[in-house]
A and B are shown apart, each in its own frame.
Chain A
Amino acid sequence: MKEPVRKTKHPYIVGACVAAIAGFYFYLVADKTKFPEPGENLVYDIKKFEDVDNVATRYKEGKPIVPTVDGPKAMEIDGAGNLFVGGKGAIAVYDASGAETSRIAVDGAATCLEFTPDGRLLVGLEDRVAVLGADHKTMATWSGFAERTLITSIAANAEEVFLADAANRCVLRVDYDGKVLNEIGKADEARDIPGLEVPSPYFDMAFDDEGSLWVVNPGKLGLERYRSNGDIVTSWYRPSLELDGFSGCCNPTHIAFNSAGRLVTCEKGLVRVKIYEVTAGSFEELVVGSKSFKVAQSVSDMVVDASDRVLVLDSRQKAVRIFEPEAPAVAKAVP
């Protein structure tokens, strides 16, 4: 007698195994290849923009300072080299070694800081300015500038104070009683003033070594130099993704001058810190490139100290990162 029953069972077992393997294959491979991967036209490639600043720099990063204030947003350095970092409700003071030496309570969130030539500390508190004496006690508060004010930068000389108002897209020139004397930077065809374009709350200004006021026009990706009366003296714009230009919709976010009178700039998005000759607006060197930061980052503030170290308040790392030049700074060109 033959035993056909046992034989006829095999095809079912083999079939089941084949089906299982095929199912497993489809689960692992076929299902995943059902959808094509997005090609070049569907993906925005950031790397090629980062590679633009892949060049040598003579700046080396030192030990950072980790500020203890909540929401650190503003920095300034006093005449003795102490670093002041302002945040929500407080300003922390650090000595040259990076140790916290004192803390000043403020009524609000500090958005910017500036020392006057006689040592008073001006604290931007969104829509107000607190004036602090040498003992760090509040001497006065200036307020009531406009219905909607956001002070993002302060520049002070012996006679007057300039407040960058990002919400009203202009610079307010005020006296030492906080009274507005005039507005600077509003579009005025008759005076050849193109108008400050401020699409985001990044709006900075600084005095050069001759005391001239340079104001960033972030929407036009450049700088404008103004007289106190609001006349525009000169301007230059550098919209470009290349290293010698400013990228994005609104940059640079922060500016400062070094001891050689060179302009140090900081950008958001692709964070790049660079040095320019300010009159011609010509790029000179890179301090730090975008690879040192997270993409789509914005730095909270940037200052340059007396030794030309560039201090960057890194919003992601919540640290003051310090970039120190290895060789002497570039000498100022003789005109």
Chain B
Amino acid sequence: MSERKKLDRRDFMRGAAAVAFTGATWAAVGEKTETKYWQLDPAKCTQCGRCTTHCVLTPSAVKCLNQFDICGYCDLCFGYLQPGSRNLDTGAENQLCPTAAIERKYIEAPYYEYKIHEDKCIGCAKCVKACLVFGNGSFYLQIRQDICINCNECSIAKSCPSDCFSEVPESNPYMFLTGDTHLAHPPA
């Protein structure tokens, strides 16, 4: 009887160890198989231009977004206009964007909405830098997850000089701009 009890206890310990091992393995495997996506942190980006040239896709999977609650809806938008342009018209020679991906739309005097046509955007970040320096900094880059093929090793991440790239969980695949946005005010 006592022999049987001893065996039972040993069996129980073995069983517990097996369950613990299986659980740990399952957890480890589970963690590895959770889908992760590449994303860039706009707060770290220094607008070097490599997001255009170093993506395996042409055009790049990186696109510019406009965070409207930060945007000043400026008439003299430096993200839209070439620096020093005198004419506030939509002529190609006045536009900063190399692909004319930004649309300027009149809202009310003297405010304008700036919409990015992502199908034309090549992610060069020229508008991002200009808006950051001269405007409210509402333009920012993000990897569009519906376009990105989620390379094993993102080739932009390998060459990004500002260490912007990391893998983010499927449930939270974008990094929005943060900061004090309540003081900015789009037209009422």
Contact = CB atoms under 8 A, between A and B. Distances in A.
A270 B135 CA distance: 10
Interface string A190-231: 000001010111000000000000000001010000000000
Given A38-B53, A195-B109, A197-B110, A44 B47 contact: yes
Contacts of B126: 42-44
A123 B66 CA distance: 34
A38 B133 contact: no
B164 interface: no
Interface string B74-114: 11111000011000000000001010000000000111000
Interface stretch (B2-10, B25-33, B144-152, B180-188): B180-188
B124 A42 contact: yes
Contacts of B185: 148, 150, 166-167, 201
Contacts of A269: 133-135
A37 interface: yes
A249 B135 contact: yes
A247 interface: yes
Interface string B33-59: 000000000000001111011100000
B165 interface: no
Specify the main secondary structure of chain A where it touches its partner.
loop
Contact of A249 (B78, B109, B122, B125): B78
Interface residues of A, number: 34
A49 B53 contact: no
Contacts of B75: 197, 219, 249
A219 B159 CA distance: 38
A239 interface: yes
Interface residues of B, number: 39
A199 B134 contact: no
B130 interface: yes
B98 A42 contact: yes
A97 interface: no
B101 to A, nearest CB: 13
A35 B155 contact: yes
Contact of B137 (A32, A240, A270, A296): A296
A35 B110 contact: no
A35 B183 CA distance: 41
Contacts of B140: none
A148 B155 CA distance: 47
Interface string A31-71: 01001111001111010010000000000000000000000
Contact of A221 (B76, B110, B125, B132): B76
B124 A199 contact: no
Contacts of A249: 72, 74-78, 134-136
B48 A43 contact: yes
Interface of A: 32, 35-38, 41-44, 46, 49, 148, 150, 166-167, 187, 195, 197, 199-201, 219, 221, 239-241, 247-250, 269-270, 295-296
22 contacts: A38-B49, A42-B126, A43-B48, A43-B124, A44-B125, A166-B183, A166-B185, A167-B185, A187-B109, A197-B110, A199-B72, A199-B73, A200-B136, A219-B110, A241-B83, A241-B84, A248-B133, A249-B74, A269-B134, A270-B133, A296-B133, A296-B137
Interface of B: 47-50, 52-54, 72-78, 83-84, 96, 98, 109-111, 122, 124-126, 129-130, 132-137, 155, 159, 183-185, 188
